[in-house]
Amino acid sequence: MNQVLLSSVKMDWRTPQPFFDILNSEFNFNLDPCCDEKNAKCHNHYTQEDNGLQQDWTGSTVFVNPPYGREIGKWVKKCYEESLKPNTRVVMLIPSRTDTSYFHDYILGKSEIRFLRGRIKFWDDDNNPKDPAPFPSMVVIY
């Protein structure tokens, strides 16, 4: 197994395009608030320099694959709060960590949860699939 997947050295693994395409066909995303110029999934997007946590997402249909490090709780909270705004829909791809405070505070009972079967294979910077993630994933829909 790729040891980088088990560490917090790299937190910006790319969402596999076929996986995104399936969700996009259902939701028609128009904003990716946490990406870089190379892995943006939508024309409208925010990079780390733009700091999507500080931006207003009102009126957007948002796809969020946040950094999976210690900041993930901030992203989950932001997704929930933005989803309360008019005409705003947020879909997150995150690790399925049902024991966390953010799961109980901002996901459980407040969203639709789709647990993924098996382990997702994120892509590297060259769009090559890597080893399966060492954790289960879920899609959270607000």
pLDDT in tens, 37-91: 889 999 999 999 999 999 999 999 999 999 988 999 999 999 999 999 999 999 9
Task: Enumerate the β-bridge partners of residue 21.
Answer: none
- Among 70, 16, 62, residue whose Cα is nearest residue 39: 16
| DSSP letters spanning 34-47 | EE-TTT-SSSSEEE
DSSP 29: -
Ramachandran class of 83: left when φ > 0, alpha when ψ lies in -120 to 50, beta otherwise: alpha
Q: pLDDT tens across 99-142, in order? A: 999 999 999 999 999 999 999 999 888 888 888 899 999 999 99
Length of the chain: 142
Contact (Cβ atoms closer than 8 angstroms) between residue 48 and residue 36:
yes
Domain at 3-141, CATH class: alpha beta
CB 123 within 8 A of CB 96: no
Domain edges within the chain = 3-141
Determine phi and psi for 90, rounding to 5 degrees.
-130, 135
